[in-house]
Amino acid sequence: MEKHLGITFSNKNLLKRALTHSSFAFEMGMDAREVYERLEFLGDAILNFVITDFIFYRFPRFNEGELAKFRANLVNSEVLAKVAQGIGLGEFIFMGKGAELTGGRERTSILADCFEAVLGAIYLDQDLSVVREFILKNFKDMIFEQTLKEFSDFKTALQEYTIEKLGAVPEYQITREEGPVHERIFHVEVLVQGKILGKGMGRSKKKAEQRAAQEALETLRRETDD
C-alpha cells in the first residue's frame, strides 16, 4: 500500500488501522477502536479543508454558493471511491470474509470511507503539507473535469486559468480558411504571451476557437503535471 500511495509511514500501525474494516475486527476479536472509523472522521475534515482552500484561491470570482457546489461535486462518495480504485486501495483492506464475499472491496461507501481514513493516517504520520500534496495530486483530473463543467465553454475556462496563473489573456488567430463558402473550414491557433498553446479547426470560427482552447488547456495541464 505504501508503494501505491508513494508514502512511507514511520508508524505503520496507523496505515494498518486505516485499512481495517469493522468486519475484520469482529472476526478477529480485535478492539473496536482498531478500525478505521476515527481516522475516517479526521480524514474527512482534512479533505474538505484542502479542497476548500484550493478552490477558494483558484476561483476568486466564485461566490459562496458556487464554491459549495464545486466542493460538493468533488468531495462525495462516488469521487472518493473512484480515486481509491485508482490507487488500488480495495485489495489492501483488512476485511471479514462475509463482507468480502458480498463485494465489500468494490463497495463505494467502504472505498470512500477507507480513503478518508488513509488521509487521516497520512496527516498524523507526516504533516498537512504531505497530505495536501497527496490529495491534490490524486484529485487533479477531477478538479480539471469539474472546472470545465462549471464554465460555459473551453474558451472561458482557458481565460480564467491564464489570467490567474500567467496574468495574460489568450489571443486567437485564424491561420487558414478552406472549402466552399457554404462549407467553410476555419483553422485557428490560440496564443498566450506569444506562445502557441493549441490549434483547432471547425465549420465556424467559434467551434475552431473552442477546439483550440481545449487543446491549450490540455497542454497547460500536462506542463503543470510535469
2, 37, 40, 44: which one is catalytic? Answer: 44
Instruction: Report the pLDDT value the prediction gives residue 148, as an integer from 0 to 100.
Output: 66
- Cβ neighbour number for residue 152 with a 10 Å cutoff: 9
The CA distance from 129 to 162, in Å, is 26
What beta strand segments (E) does the chain contain? 171-178, 185-192, 195-202
Amino acid at 2: E
Q: How far is CA 125 from CA 48, 60, 94, 109, in A?
A: 19, 33, 20, 24
List the CATH code of the domain at 2-150.
1.10.1520.10
Instruction: Report the pLDDT value the prediction gives residue 53, as an integer from 0 to 100.
Output: 95
pLDDT digits (tens, 9 = 90+) for 126-177: 999 999 999 999 998 888 777 766 665 788 888 888 888 888 999 999 999 9
- The CATH number for 154-225, chosen from 3.40.50.10860, 3.30.160.20, 3.30.1370.10, 2.60.120.480, is 3.30.160.20
Instruction: Report the pLDDT value the prediction gives residue 226, as an integer from 0 to 100.
Output: 54
Q: Does residue 141 carry a catalytic annotation?
A: no
2, 40, 100, 116: which one is catalytic? Answer: 116
Instruction: Report the pLDDT value the prediction gives residue 186, as an integer from 0 to 100.
Output: 94
pLDDT digits (tens, 9 = 90+) for 131-140: 999 999 999 8
Tell me whether residue 160 is exposed, middle or buried, using C-beta atoms within 10 angstroms of its C-beta: 0 to 12, 13 to 18, 19 or more.
middle
Instruction: Report the pLDDT value the prediction gives residue 46, as an integer from 0 to 100.
Output: 97
The DSSP-derived string for 53-103 is: HHHHHH-TT--HHHHHHHHHHHSSHHHHHHHHHHTTGGGG-B--HHHHHTT
Task: Map grid coordinates 462525495 to a residue.
Answer: 76
Beta-ladder partners of 196: 191
What's the predicted TM-score (pTM) here? 0.68
Query: For the chain (length 226 residues), average pLDDT per consecutive 10?
Result: 94 94 84 87 97 88 85 90 92 87 86 96 96 93 74 78 87 93 91 93 91 90 70
Domain spans of the chain? 2-150, 154-225
Q: What is the CA radius of gyration of the chain?
A: 22
Largest CA distance in the chain: 78
